[in-house]
Copies of this chain bind each other. A is one copy, B any other.
């Protein structure tokens, strides 16, 4: 299954059979006080800098989230998108719980983006799916619905199926639905990661869709979070994750290692190139 995204002049394929695509998460105000300060002043320098450094570190797509308390993201999200796509030429993933902000961003996007996200709630499906169809975007479908979050992987699969069916009914193509299996903190529930990994396996096997995940949640409340996140990332990729949303500085090396082990990187070309790039950046 191939999800095609586009930037101004580039096409990117997220392929369930191909190597992993990294979606950079760092343009996000959570725990980035300086980003909030600059964006509040309509100053996009730091956001652009985060865009460039993530691409150097291996990001193929950039997630753009400008949500912070009091923000008018229906104005700020499209403004940020415009500023970033003037400077870099990779596809974007527009990230907001506010359908008005999503629509405003869709209006200015050059290319073909990913919407982050729709979920199984009626309200969400009704607000987001028509936008994805109207503006020809791909969508991330989060496996929660009006009953909340279930801990049963089979039930999460059924929510993924529901989102897929509703998207197809809306005229969206199957390959443009990317599923997020939901990752929860393993410190709160010892089975949290197993539930996520089994959901990934089921969605991969039964639906064959591309799968994303913002996985740094899993290590919430624990020490040594990077190691835990890396281990979870490798296992998620093994089970069917194809386009994680993560900090490329922390995750790309491990993603490339997983691809090499899975025989998705013959002669270790991408693994070695990424290593050389990281070494070069250290020296600068």
Contacts and interface: CB of A to CB of B under 8 A. Distances in A.
A261 B232 contact: yes
A193 B218 CA distance: 27
A253 B224 contact: yes
Interface string A194-221: 1001000000000000000000001000
Contact of A235 (B187, B197, B238, B271): B238
A132 B160 CA distance: 53
A98 interface: no
A222 B197 CA distance: 29
Interface of A: 186-187, 190-191, 193-194, 197, 218, 222-224, 227-228, 230-232, 234-235, 238, 253-254, 257-258, 260-263, 265-268, 271-272, 275-276
Give the top 3 A-B pairs by smallest Cβ distance, nearest first.
A231-B257, A193-B261, A190-B263
19 contacts: A186-B261, A187-B267, A193-B260, A193-B261, A193-B263, A194-B261, A197-B261, A222-B271, A223-B272, A223-B275, A223-B276, A224-B257, A227-B257, A228-B257, A231-B254, A234-B235, A235-B238, A235-B258, A235-B261
